[in-house]
Amino acid sequence: MTRIFAIETKGLGIGYQLKGGKRKVVHDDLNLQLVPGEVTCLLGLNGAGKSTLLRTLCGFQPPLGGEIRLMGKPLSDYSQANFSLTVGVVLTEKTNAGGITVYELVSLGRHPYTGFFGQLKKRDREIIEQSLEAAGIAHKANNYVSELSDGERQKAMIAKALAQQCPIILLDEPTAFLDVTSRIETMVLLHRLAVDGQKAILLSTHDLDLAIQMGDCLWLQEKGRPMACGTPEDLIMSGAFESFFDKEGIVFDPATGKLNTEAPTSAIGVEGDFLTSYWVGNALVRNGYRPSPVKEGQLNITCKSPHELVAAFPDGRREKLRTVAELVSLIGVLRCVDI
Ligand SMILES: Nc1ncnc2c1ncn2[C@@H]1O[C@H](COP(=O)(O)OP(=O)(O)OP(=O)(O)O)[C@@H](O)[C@H]1O
């Protein structure tokens, strides 16, 4: 049986038709599959083509070639009305909707059902209220959009897309401009909506940590290379991230999921209490060392608790440390010595 994807592209070319008949190809031969029930994060450096891809998938700009299917049907077969019933689009730009209330903004999501001048029926009002509730913005329903913070406005826009009741939601950088709490809240919300509503959610982001943590699937977009697609873990372990950041002189460390300017070469063994080991590893990476399994012939740190670390040197000496700060100064002292 052929599986129906929320979005499927075959040999898709994206880019721009320039004056004089020339074309600017941003990406070629994209064979992508967006799956219901998952949050897919589209990652790429500036200019990689994330917005171009999202705009092409929304039909806002024509593909240069290839095929786009939404729910198994070619995008070109969709009328504007049918498209609005299938895809909710949330763009980053501040909306022009400052002069209307959050309730009115979210009610715009019902227009594909009621028509622009259509009356909201009881069922529409119920759906608007449920959408406001699900997006965590019901308490601001009567506020003007201009009175909202960036995070609240983002939630209101998500509520509007929810009121549209589409199986697919596309978002352009939904976590841009948000503080760390709102970024996590937004991603948790999108993840819940994907799982509970079996929606296919695709969002572009520069937030590597959050994408690795919360994305069910990542699309790594890079000029001149096929898109690398998969779970964050499979992509990290297959080395896809290392080549992704390679050119920029930035190193991705698969052991920590973090970026750095140079790859740590010397290893220090870490074992013991999970939480302490994690943060000891964090301090080691920051100071240019690679946390590794303990082994003979290198400095090893046993983490008994956050206040009880034991440094075991290759020559058999042992030193007790009470804080990570003490460990960091020990490393500083030993930096010139071969540990
Ligand atoms: N209207 C246009 N005409 C021609 N080229 C364009 C046009 N808009 C964007 N581009 C080019 O297409 C490429 C991809 O741009 P795009 O905005 O899709 O990248 P992006 O990954 O979204 O970048 P960012 O992370 O900076 O938002 C860039 O080289 C850009 O200069």
- Boundary residue ending a domain (229, 252, 275): 252
- Tell me, what CATH number does 295's domain have? 3.40.50.800
Report the nearest-CA residue for atom 6 of ligand 1.
16
Whole-number Å distance, alpha carbon 205 to ligand 1 midpoint, is 15
Q: What pLDDT sits at residue 155?
A: 87
Residue 95 has pLDDT above 80, yes or no: no
Residues 206 and 322 in one domain: no
Rounded average pLDDT over 120-131: 90
Rounded average pLDDT over 295-308: 94
Residues 241 and 319 in one domain: no
Q: Is 199 in the pocket of ligand 1 (CB under 6 A)?
A: no
Q: At what angle do helices 180-197 and 150-163 cross, to 10 degrees?
A: 10
Residues 126 and 243 in one domain: yes
Question: In testing the pocket of ligand 1, which one of 50, 53, 170 has its CB within 8 Å of the most ligand atoms?
Answer: 50
Beta strands at 65-70 and 217-220: parallel, antiparallel or unpaired: unpaired
Residue 16 has pLDDT above 60, yes or no: yes
Whole-number Å distance, alpha carbon 244 to ligand 1 midpoint, is 18
Q: What is the pLDDT of residues 212-249, one digit of tens each?
A: 999 999 999 988 889 999 999 999 988 888 877 766 66
Residue 242 CA, chain-centre distance (Å), reads 18
Considering only residues 253 and 300, tell me which one the structure prediction assigns the higher pLDDT: 300
Considering only residues 27 and 253, tell me which one the structure prediction assigns the higher pLDDT: 27
Residues 330 and 197 in one domain: no
| CA–CA distances in Å: residue 144 to residues 184, 211, 216 | 24, 31, 34
Q: Is residue 140 part of a domain?
A: yes
Residue 333 has pLDDT above 90, yes or no: no
Q: Is residue 257 part of a domain?
A: no
Q: Is residue 103 part of a domain?
A: yes
Residues 49 and 187 in one domain: yes
Whole-number percent of the chain with pLDDT over 90: 57
- ipTM reported for the complex surpasses 0.95: yes
Question: In testing the pocket of ligand 1, which one of 12, 46, 51, 58 has its CB within 8 Å of the most ligand atoms?
Answer: 51
- Boundary residue ending a domain (252, 287, 306): 252
Number of domains comprising the chain = 2
**What is the domain extent for residue 164?**
7-252
Residues 142 and 219 in one domain: yes
Rounded average pLDDT over 126-155: 90
Residue 50 has pLDDT above 90, yes or no: yes
Rounded average pLDDT over 48-64: 94
Residues 171 and 295 in one domain: no
Residues 241 and 317 in one domain: no
Residues 127 and 229 in one domain: yes
Rounded average pLDDT over 291-311: 94
Considering only residues 267 and 335, tell me which one the structure prediction assigns the higher pLDDT: 267
HEC readout, the chain: CCCCCCEEEEEEEEEEECHHHCEEEEEEEECCEECCCCEEEEECCCCCCHHHHHHHHCCCCCCCEEEEEECCEEHHHCCHHHHHHHEEEECCCCCCHHHCEHHHHHHHHHHHHHCCCCCCCHHHHHHHHHHHHHCCCHHHCCCEHHHCCHHHHHHHHHHHHHHCCCCEEEEECCCCCCCHHHHHHHHHHHHHHHHHHCCEEEEEECCHHHHHHHCCEEEECCCCCCCEEECHHHHHHCCHHHHHHHCCCCEEECCCCEEECCCCCCEEEEEECHHHHHHHHHHHHHCCCEEECCCCCCCEEEEEECCEEEEECCCCCEEEECCHHHHHHHHHHHCCCCC
The mean of the pLDDT values for the chain is 89
Report the nearest-CA residue for atom 1 of ligand 1.
16
Q: What pLDDT sits at residue 263?
A: 66
Residues 191 and 230 in one domain: yes
Whole-number Å distance, alpha carbon 48 to ligand 1 midpoint, is 7
Q: Is residue 26 part of a domain?
A: yes
Q: Is residue 261 part of a domain?
A: no
Q: Is 46 in the pocket of ligand 1 (CB under 6 A)?
A: yes
Residues 85 and 49 in one domain: yes
- Tell me, what CATH number does 156's domain have? 3.40.50.300
Q: Is residue 230 part of a domain?
A: yes
Whole-number Å distance, alpha carbon 156 to ligand 1 midpoint, is 27
- Rounded Cα distance, 27 and 142, in Å: 43
Q: Is 48 in the pocket of ligand 1 (CB under 6 A)?
A: yes
Whole-number Å distance, alpha carbon 60 to ligand 1 midpoint, is 14
Q: What pLDDT sits at residue 67?
A: 95
- Burial (0-12, 13-18, 19+ Cβ within 10 Å), 273: middle
- Rounded Cα distance, 9 and 14, in Å: 11
| CA–CA distances in Å: residue 245 to residues 239, 240, 281, 312 | 11, 9, 22, 35
- Boundary residue ending a domain (186, 220, 252): 252
Q: Is residue 308 part of a domain?
A: yes
Whole-number Å distance, alpha carbon 147 to ligand 1 midpoint, is 31
Contact 202, 40 (CB under 8 A): yes
Q: What pLDDT sits at residue 318?
A: 95
Residues 68 and 208 in one domain: yes
Q: Is residue 134 part of a domain?
A: yes
Rounded average pLDDT over 170-199: 88
Lowest mean pLDDT among 102-106, 260-264, 298-302, 309-313: 260-264
Q: What is the pLDDT of residues 67-83, one digit of tens each?
A: 999 999 999 999 988 99
Considering only residues 339 and 269, tell me which one the structure prediction assigns the higher pLDDT: 269
Rounded average pLDDT over 316-335: 90
Q: What is the pLDDT of residues 239-264, one digit of tens each?
A: 888 877 766 667 788 877 777 776 66
Rounded average pLDDT over 183-204: 91
